Amino acid sequence: MCMCLEDTSRRRLLVLSPSATHSRLQQLAPSMRILILGGSGRVGKLVVQGALARGHTVTALVRDEASLAAVSNANGALTVVKGQPQDQADVERAFVAVPNDAPQAVVVTLNSARTSDNPFAKQLSPPTLMHDAHVNVLAAMKTHGTPKIVTLQAHGVGDSFATLFLPVKMLVRYSNMGVGYKDHEQVEHIIKQSGLSYVLARPARFVPGPSSPLHFYGNTGEGIGSLKTATRDSVATFLLDAVEKDDWNGTAPVMSN
């Protein structure tokens, strides 16, 4: 199946193959300024790169400006602000970093850091990092009229805890993994109370790999099974789709590849 689109700049009809249609539709989607918190992380960098590739302008609030030095910024579409998301003044600076161009959406890919991926590893982040960052960003969104936030969480947060594989449930309850999950639950509460449009993305366990189609299991994760995974590229793509579309507004979808 092909799609026909009119190129108004040249007044000619374009016939696109299915493989080209998605790319062309992305180009036709309205561009916006997106503020990204956590843009120096493994998922956050992919979101920054993906947003720029889709033609959006990006403001990234990061602790270390050098962490995004390798991201292509030939046309100046990326604005990097050094600061901490727990600091209200830093968050405010990110919102006004580009005069007369406040963010139209916020993507948060922060995570609760430990010394390693071992669930029992020492906690590095403050236990309320994500809650405190969201308090700041939600206040700034209301001040500047930013209507939508998309936040990366994890399968097992909130209503999806019941569908976690039993051994993972035990880790959440009895290891330092639980610190981040409790923090995410507080984030869910304040986002829902904010009155703003939101999407809470809850992917299965991350694994390396390219972007590929995602399967969705509602807000509870019913039917996901015990060994599902998701690639960071796939989830980064979803986060941007959730920014651009209203399909997932007001939901906390569990997802896997």
Q: Which CATH architecture has domain 35-256?
A: 3-Layer(aba) Sandwich (3.40)
Kindly state the average pLDDT of the residues 150-168: 97
- Each residue of 34-90: pLDDT tens digit? 999 999 999 999 999 999 999 999 999 999 999 998 898 878 999 999 999 999 999
Specify the higher pLDDT residue, 18 or 227. 227
- Whether 2 contacts 18, CB under 8 Å: yes
On the CB side of 214, how many CA atoms lie within 13 Å of its CA? 27
Confidence of residue 20 (pLDDT cuts 50, 70, 90): very low
- Whether 201 contacts 233, CB under 8 Å: no
Annotate 9-27 with DSSP letters as a single string. Answer: TTTEEEEE-HHHHHHHHHH
- Each residue of 221-241: pLDDT tens digit? 999 999 999 999 999 999 999
* pTM higher than 0.85: yes
Average pLDDT score, the chain: 90
Stretch(es) of the chain classified as CATH 3.40.50.720: 35-256
**What is the end-to-end Cα distance of the chain in Å, rounded?**
25
- Each residue of 198-217: pLDDT tens digit? 999 999 999 999 999 999 99
Kindly state the average pLDDT of the residues 99-122: 91
* 108 has a pLDDT exceeding 80: yes
Predicted confidence at residue 115, as pLDDT, reads 83
* Closest among 253, 249, 237, 247 to 54, alpha carbons compared: 237
* 150 has a pLDDT exceeding 50: yes
